[in-house]
Copies of this chain bind each other. A is one copy, B any other.
Amino acid sequence: MFSHSEENYLKVIHKLAFSNSKNVSTNLIANELQTKASSVTDMLKKLADKKLVNYEKYRGVSLTKKGELIAVNVVRKHRLWEVFLVDTLKFNWDEVHDVAEQLEHIKSDQLIDRLDTFLNYPTIDPHGDPIPKKNGEIPFNNSILLSEGITNKIYKVSCVKDNSKSFLQFLDKHEITINSELTIVDKFDFDDSMTVKLIGGHSIILSNKVSTNVFVNLK
């Protein structure tokens, strides 16, 4: 089996490879894990020895098939636990991250299978992120960023990119959540802000920082 630390590195490499390029740099990982580049180098060597990453000195890393599978499984566990915390234990969506970071390392396939069953096989977590299947497949989501939406169409919020407490609390305050429906009333080139109107609700001006952290689907 793999240590918490190893799992965290694999998870972060997976995340960065997903959003950035295929090859991930030492500094990116160090920054994401709030650790030092030298520590990252040490760990990359170890992961390479175990055939979990492809690593070439000074050239960054990518996950091997094996490393990918472990990383995705950690993500699966993290997201299933988040569903449990919100749906079953009534946590708010801004309170679950730290606890899920711990729970994701519990080792028991039986536990995760049964949790999945108990939760009725959820496909997304409380932030709208897809829950990987047992076989490692990650359901694809054809959402777009709210910032890329056009005016006078009805969109449904599908996912939030930034899972930080402050962002989620901001959304709570303005009654925006997963499945909220809204239209873009106006877009302002000046600062890339926009006015959106929640269907049956209030209007609100969203900064570019906000609209680039919310995914939506055309209704």
Contact = CB atoms under 8 A, between A and B. Distances in A.
Interface stretch (A24-32, A87-95, A208-216): A87-95
A77 to B, nearest CB: 12
A110 interface: yes
Interface stretch (A60-68, A111-119, A191-199): A111-119
Contacts of A22: none
Contacts of A89: 111, 114-115, 118
Contact of A111 (B99, B110, B114, B118): B99
A99 B106 contact: yes
Contacts of A88: 118
Interface in A83-113: 85, 88-91, 95, 98-99, 102-103, 106-108, 110-111
Contacts of A114: 89-91
A112 to B, nearest CB: 10
